[in-house]
Amino acid sequence: GLLAVDHQLELIGRVLEAAVQAALFNVAINLSGAQDAEFAARLTEESARLGQEAARLRERALATVRKRI
């Protein structure tokens, strides 16, 4: 029923966050060898921003699911 759907939505949110974190980790690995320090710094900042946004969206989604339980 509805509880099963809510549980699935929570799991989907957590899987999506894990995918974002894996992508950001990959970016960090690739930037560690970048020769253009300015480029690397810009992408590092953008990655941090995206990681924070992903965490914010995760919390928002989980709060929505928890309200329905």
pLDDT 10s digits, 11-55: 888 898 899 999 999 999 999 999 999 999 999 999 999 999 988
Q: How is residue 34 annotated by DSSP?
A: -
Query: Which one, of 68, 64, 23, 19, lies nearest residue 47 by Cα?
Result: 23
Query: Which one, of 9, 25, 17, lies nearest residue 56 by Cα?
Result: 17
Contact 2, 68 (CB under 8 A): yes
Tell me, what's the pLDDT at 22? 96
Which amino acid is present at 37? A
In this predicted structure, the answer to whether residue 9 has a pLDDT above a threshold of 90 is: no
Tell me, what's the pLDDT at 17? 86
